[in-house]
Structure 1
Amino acid sequence: MTDPSLAQDIIDSSTDFAIITLDPEGLITSWNSGAEHVLGWSAEEAIGQHGRLFFTKEDQAAGSPEHEIQRARREGRALNERTHMRADGSRFWGSGLLMRRKGSPGFVKIVRDRTHEREAERRLASLMDALPGFVFEADTDGHYVQTNARYQDYTGRAHSDLLGDGWLEVVHPDHRSRTHDAWKESIRTGRSFEQTFLVAAHDGSYRCFACRGIPEAGDDGRVLRWIGTCIDVENEAKARAMLEGLNLSLEHAVTNRSAALEESHRALQSEVEERERIEEALRQSQKMEAIGQLTGGVAHDFNNLLTVILGSVDLLRRPNLSDEKRERYMSSIAETAERAAKLTNQLLAFARRQPLKAEAFDVVKRLGETGNVLQTVSGARVTIDLDVRCESCLIEADPVQFDTAMLNMAVNARDAMDGEGTLTITVEERACVPPTRGHGAVAGRFVAVSVRDTGAGIAHDDLPRIFEPFFTTKEVGRGTGLGLSQVFGFAKQSGGEIAIDSAPGRGAVFTLYLPHAEDKQKASAAPAETTPTAVTATGSGQDVLLVEDNQLVGEFAAQLIGDLGYTALWVSSAQEALALVEANPGKFDIVFTDVVMPGMSGIELAEALREKYPKLPVVLTSGYSHVLAAEGTHGFDLLQKPYTADGLAHALQKAAQSRK
């Protein structure tokens, strides 16, 4: 028989759980120390009051406390997760369980504070929804338990319709059986799932996707769940099919050429046109090959990041978690999300979706920041070595075009080595550019970036044409050499040069000469990334009009703005925001708007407001915008997505001060 005093001691020692008993009418009859710790009321203050005491006013008005008691009386228990109230008026997200008491009338209520776990889950959902491809999570049996917004929007299916095995319904019927069998085989063996198949869009059309799922194992080696991504590769698939068809056509034309000698002129013209079409298809295929390899590597990196985040969230769900462990897991989530943001920014830079301009920067530091992308494009069998021989490696050039030039030289070296070998990047200072391709030497300070491969080398007769657009020494399907013309143009436009040293059997060395920044002061004058100092609750009740078409981001940003000491009003379109300002010209102190939205963009809204209300500050935010890349910010402050609470506080504080 259980000792009643021992049971009471256990209840009172559970400080992280509010354990409360209620009579059949819902009046509180006992209140443990955990209830006082979690909810704030003492036992003397709480006992005798109704259980609606710690429900919000909204839930009380809706009758939620009574409905919960009715459900527990009818079903034996009632689970809920909702916002609760503390004695000091603050709110928190709590997980509650109401059960009938055994052996006596009334109920037992258990409440736990899950605010930190819910915040982590919301940040994880935001990160997953920000990814450009499909993201899914499956249980140990291979049944989907979570999908991101992109998966749902593309297929036009509700989240619940994709769960379990429902995702197979959007796979093309011709691919469904093969995909299902491959997925089951991966679940059975614990090996990665990698398949390419057609997926139905919301309008009934199909596009080709490459999907990869990896298992996450526990300490005992058993699979805990599966995490995966799917990337759109439709353009690559079409290019390959077109190239195969054109190759067959060309072979047929060559085979039957002897029978068409009397029409030699017309046949020759047709062959030239056919070759031009083949070259165009080949160029497109090579582009798709590079994109496919890059996106595959990015998907792998994102899967690794998601593994850390999802694992940390699971650990945060554990009961009786110490503050030190909770802080460690929250820090792990934040740091991993920052790494994902940096990876996204690198991809945007290579996609040239950011405003470009020449500036002074350190070559070695830049290579360190883009090293992961160079390694991904080069492939796992290529070893990249960096040899730095200069103390000051500052140049004056466009950093994004520099990244693209390095990417193109790395791809060229990879193809020359047939995907396996050593790529050595040497950075050193030179006093001049040596004579190159018939041009005399050029005096001055230059930083030379040499890319050496261990490939087959280039024939002497081909060297004069190596930088011509569309010229290539490689066989069909093994690279086009297109990137070298971009490197040549970038070097010339930057006031530098590109030189090559190669011979058959001893690889090739491409040396990019770029002007050295005059001194370190010039480099320090260039815009530098700064991290705003931690700012909390900087507002003084100013009214902020938040314009954001994404509901999840809008709700989160509105809550964040409120926590920073401002009053936020959220609208989902620029048209609605403009109408509100025109109806209440003096109401809002700041407008904080996304750039890319349906209909009127954030920049168009900002321009309209500047014309009518020049003293109303506008802050733009965006994570991806071809408008910004082409036209800039038009003089408005820009907060880059994803942004932190401190970054938002800094931007709003600056805007508020501009009105004074």
Structure 2
Amino acid sequence: MLSCPTAMFLAWGPDLLCFYNDAYRPFLGYRLDAALGRPFREVWASIWDEIAPLVEATLAGESRTLTDLMLDLSRDGRPERSWWSFTYSPVLDDDGAVRGLFCVTAETTARVLGEAALRESEDHFRHTVELSPQVAWTCDPSGGITSYASRWLALTGQAPGEPLGDGWVRALHPDDVAPTLAVFAASLASGDPVDVEYRIRVAATGEHRWMRAHARPRRDEAGAILRWYGVVEDIHDRRLAEDALRGLNRTLERRIAEALAQRKLWADVFETTSALVAALDPDYRVLAANRAYADEFARLYGVRPRAGDDLLALLDAVPEEREAVRSLWGRAVAGEEFTVVAEFGDPERRRASYEIRFTVLHDGDGRRIGAFQYATDVTERLREQAQLARAEDALRQAQKMEAVGQLTGGVAHDFNNLLTIIRSSVDFLRRPDLAEERRRRYLDAVSDTVDRAAKLTGQLLAFARRQALAPEVFDIGARLRSVAEMLDPVTGARIRVVMRLPDVPCHVRADVSQFETALINMAVNARDAMRGEGTLVLHLECGRPLPVIRGHAGSPGPFAVLSVVDEGAGIAPEHIDRIFEPFFTTKEVGKGTGLGLSQVIGFAKQSGGDVAVASRLGEGTTVTLYLPEVAPPQAGGATDAAAAEDAGDGCSLCVLVVEDNLEVGRFCTQILEDLGHACVWAHNAEAALAEMERSPDRFDAVFSDVVMPGIGGIALARRLRDQHPDLPVILTSGYSDVLARDDAHGFPLVRKPYSASQVAQALRTIAGRLSRRRSDRR
């Protein structure tokens, strides 16, 4: 109890005297100096009303667990709101009678407040979306609607859930369905923003109104589209005004000289819209402006424009605004038709954002005589979009921090367990009187634990797609047959393994060790789901396409498809989207690390494939691994390599060791010397190149770390290959981002942590080749 990092206390005897460990001390606050050995009721008199029922129930022999209970501990003498989770358990004397109580507790205030803040953020986000006059929506990469604002239901009369998938199309005007879907399909295929206009039937009136839908994709770090975010806005009035504008333009082209008729037509058409409409000639004089344009200009700049006014002269007091107006209208009167969003207004009065469409004006003979401007105030819309984006960023940040906390906690837990075994074994190995049998046992425990730590690191890197792979081309069916022999002891005697393999070979290019690990991880999960009894089916198919998985785009292939099918309990729907998260597991404590499927999906993604999971509760689960299919490998080479290894036994080499870490460098040179090789140790790549320049024929091989300050190991290896083509270079690394991104570096790799036998094996191959070359010269 005293050495445990979790806060706990013991209350013992008739008066329930308090004893506690160091982790509990901060909870006492000002009570600390007088709490030890004092009656429990006196120590916590301020909250006795809340905890007295728990104490009574515990002393009656019951164990109680409470989560997130709000208590006012007043640790510094002032009232405070804090939340706590704890368990109360009875403590028995030698006769079995309850003589006290034992409590394990933890403060959960930060988590409770954080969850409340997250709920508030989510509620704020929902209100922001629902109060917007625009209809917000999202869809998956294949175009299926996944969410929408409730305003869409009010507009169209569709039932809740009906717009999901492609159900929203039923609200469109029949004539607009085909062209709208064509625009959607083109954007989904290219990744370009969606911008399409269509009509919907308004449920309240039965009329059809024009809408504009625009959306942009959100992508992951690799550029793949995760989801589309868009809005639908009512542009019916604008469309009518634009139609009227085009009609007016045609009318003005025919009747430019009829000024009176022109003014009457302008008033009839444009004084009925809230849009800001104006027309200028090439000299920036106002030809016409509707009331909405003149009112807004007067609000912004304090002066009201009239026909014949020089618009630029009206803006002399705000030169920056004048130049912005000159630039935009200059493009329009020069013949360019375009739409732009711009901000205008005197900073001391009011700034506003406008979406402005410019249209060229011609006379009856087709000559360009000016331009129209049609503008709408989008200030509030942009502000709401920015607010929505901030809410989304806050939500994503909260989710990211939760995932980081789960990952780091799981890593610390597993590595501390492994380090405990190593440290305890080393402490016993230091004893001079330790029996030989027990010494071997502790040495085996250290070696096994190092292997487990390396495997844990590999699984984390595989999940992050940062594992340094050693891919090769192999027949996946043949590999399955050989691995099947290892599955029997893994799955147990009561599980029958059935393989369904094609008659033709099926080749993939992947890391064989990682593939076998992924297969065993899937088999172990299937075994645990079936509770050690049932039928496990391994089904392999060749030449299949890759379907859309979790919103990621598919591919025509060909792919090798390996399905692992079990008859277990299945996966609950609320867990199906989390099974690939690192350290997420539904197994009992101590029954699994939660890294198995993380390794599977990391290996699949890094190898160019993917993993799909289908499950039904009570019926079983199918985990399907997709790997790109490749052409068979070229024959030859294996026999010569084996012969080279055999010829290398007993051959001494002169090895240049390149390692910047002093402890690892000393250990590596000691291994090589114990193996019978001569060594020269360079502390970095620059020193290694200097050694090669002094005596280029001295060394038989180079053994270099990858991650070093200055010139890295891969760059050093490539430079040595250019300067000394016959000099073998072996690389070693615990992790390298370069190796993780590019496996085709062309050099053999010994992964850290390495053993003496692994180093010996790598050098034996080189020694064998060297021996054969010397023999050929003789």
Instruction: Please say which structure displays the higher CA radius of gyration.
Output: 2
Q: Same fold (TM over 0.5)?
A: no
TM-score scaled by length of structure 2: 0.38
